């Protein structure tokens, strides 16, 4: 007897976890713009509340709905579909990527605990861990994302009560890769109960699946490639049922996203793989062009500029290079600004993973709240430009860069 084939994430992103005949035969999930939901009896509503609050059955599989702060059909369908891409048990959608990161850390860290995080990280994450969590009694320590795992092991050995380890890989904006399996291994050995969370916004889940590499949680700014259209803000956490259930319990009080954003994300999920692969193909051409341009001193792109251990990590952990790259131009801030201000096709704006090509200056834009001495240490230099390659014709992007880089020669 043949074993039934499980549909791929790409198929489930279009057809999965949705019964069209429960929604008047609508082929696509409707927008459920409702704040509250009716029950047939008081006992039934009490049962729904018990499930929503985790007092009986798991809240991720409710028999009915109560209130959109707890669960909404559009969020529920999206969470189940997107979880397939990381092969996760469940997912939790939030109002932003930072809301997702904060709620995950808040759920598993108590006053007196220690949180370790790789560096560099996105500027908002850096601020949360260096300033906000310590003010609430959680001590934080950082480690270099590209360092040997033995360096983290030594930090884990000398640090008590480590409850959370945050990794951003590839790192934003240097695109350096962490040794994710190695980090998981040493963390398990030193602090078995600590949660290892990996921010997989830059590559995954098409080019990197961090749960398969051993991480407990996959973190995303769903604003980026998961949305891909620069028309919403969202965050996401994926993982096993127990941890996601705990995170959803915190989310009930803290924050979540709205039905309209979830509905738009359902639209975007159907084209995630084709968009990611198309953008990557264009980014490869752009990276090759920049690597050979006389005004460019370095191109930072996974699998391109690195050798040795970084190259090993790239081949062991990823299946592609993604659409985000950074490059250095001759000179400093003035030259970088000149190039950015001359762009015509690429849009001078932050964010990444969208259909349009976006360019920015990390030192004074996305990472401006990181202290200058730390920026210097991370390699976030005055002449660094970050480029998120979109779906425009690659030759048009290259021609745009060519005319802009003329000023840097």
Q: How far apart are CA 157 and CA 153, in angstroms?
A: 6
| End-to-end CA, the chain | 67
Start-end of H helices in 255-407: 259-269, 272-291, 309-317, 333-342, 372-378, 394-405
Q: Which residue, 114, 273, 295, is CA-closest to 187?
A: 114
SS3 197: strand
Are 105 and 115 in contact, with CB atoms under 8 Å apart? Answer: yes
For the sheet with 347-348, list strands across it.
Answer: 296-300, 324-329, 384-388, 358-360, 347-348
| 376: number of Cβ within 10 Å | 12
Q: How far apart are CA 23 and CA 36, in angstroms?
A: 17
Are 37 and 29 in contact, with CB atoms under 8 Å apart? Answer: no
Q: How far apart are CA 213 and CA 80, in angstroms?
A: 21
Are 161 and 238 in contact, with CB atoms under 8 Å apart? Answer: no
Q: How far apart are CA 142 and CA 120, in angstroms?
A: 9
Q: Which residue, 145, 49, 139, 120, is CA-closest to 381?
A: 120
Which positions are catalytic?
69, 122, 199, 224
Q: How far apart are CA 339 and CA 121, in angstroms?
A: 25
DSSP state, 227? Answer: I
Buried-state track 213-224, b at ≥16 Cβ within 10 A, e below 16: bbbbbbbbbbbb
Are 125 and 199 in contact, with CB atoms under 8 Å apart? Answer: yes
Q: How far apart are CA 68 and CA 385, in angstroms?
A: 41
């Amino acid at each position: 007897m043949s074993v039934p084939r499980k549909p791929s994430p790409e198929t489930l992103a279009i057809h999965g976890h949705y019964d069209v005949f429960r929604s008047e035969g609508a082929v696509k999930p409707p927008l459920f713009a409702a704040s509250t939901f009716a029950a047939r009896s008081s006992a039934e509503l009490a049962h729904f509340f018990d499930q929503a609050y985790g007092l009986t059955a798991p809240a991720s599989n409710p028999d009915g709905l109560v209130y959109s702060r707890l669960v909404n059909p559009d969020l529920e369908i999206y969470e189940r579909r997107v979880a397939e891409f990381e092969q996760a048990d469940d997912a939790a959608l939030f109002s932003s990527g930072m809301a997702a990161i904060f709620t995950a850390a808040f759920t598993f860290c108590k006053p007196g605990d220690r949180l370790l995080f790789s560096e560099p990280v996105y500027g908002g994450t850096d601020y949360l861990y260096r300033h906000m969590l310590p003010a609430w009694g959680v001590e934080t320590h950082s480690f270099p994302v590209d360092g040997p795992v033995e360096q983290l092991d030594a930090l884990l050995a000398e640090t008590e009560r480590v409850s959370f380890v945050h990794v951003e890989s590839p790192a934003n904006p240097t695109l350096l890769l962490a040794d994710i399996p190695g980090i998981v291994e040493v963390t398990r050995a030193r602090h078995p109960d600590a949660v290892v969370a990996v921010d997989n916004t830059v590559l995954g889940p098409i080019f990197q699946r961090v749960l398969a590499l051993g991480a407990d949680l996959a973190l995303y700014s769903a604003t980026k490639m998961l949305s891909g259209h620069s028309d919403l803000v969202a965050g996401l956490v994926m993982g096993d049922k127990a941890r996601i259930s705990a995170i959803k319990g915190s989310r009930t009080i803290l924050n979540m996203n709205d039905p309209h954003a979830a509905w738009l994300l359902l639209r975007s999920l159907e084209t995630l793989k084709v968009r990611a692969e198309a953008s990557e193909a264009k980014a490869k051409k752009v990276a090759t062009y920049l690597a050979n341009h006389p005004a460019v001193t370095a191109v930072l792109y996974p699998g391109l500029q690195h050798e040795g251990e970084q190259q090993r990590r790239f081949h062991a952990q990823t299946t592609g290079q993604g659409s985000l790259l950074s490059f250095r131009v001759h000179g400093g801030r003035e030259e970088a600004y000149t190039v950015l201000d001359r762009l015509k096709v690429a849009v001078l704006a932050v964010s990444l993973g969208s259909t349009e090509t976006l360019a920015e200056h990390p030192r004074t834009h996305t990472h401006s709240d990181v202290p200058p001495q730390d920026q210097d240490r991370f390699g976030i230099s005055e002449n660094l430009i970050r480029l998120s390659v979109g779906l425009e014709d690659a030759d048009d992007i290259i021609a745009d860069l060519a005319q802009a880089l003329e000023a840097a020669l």
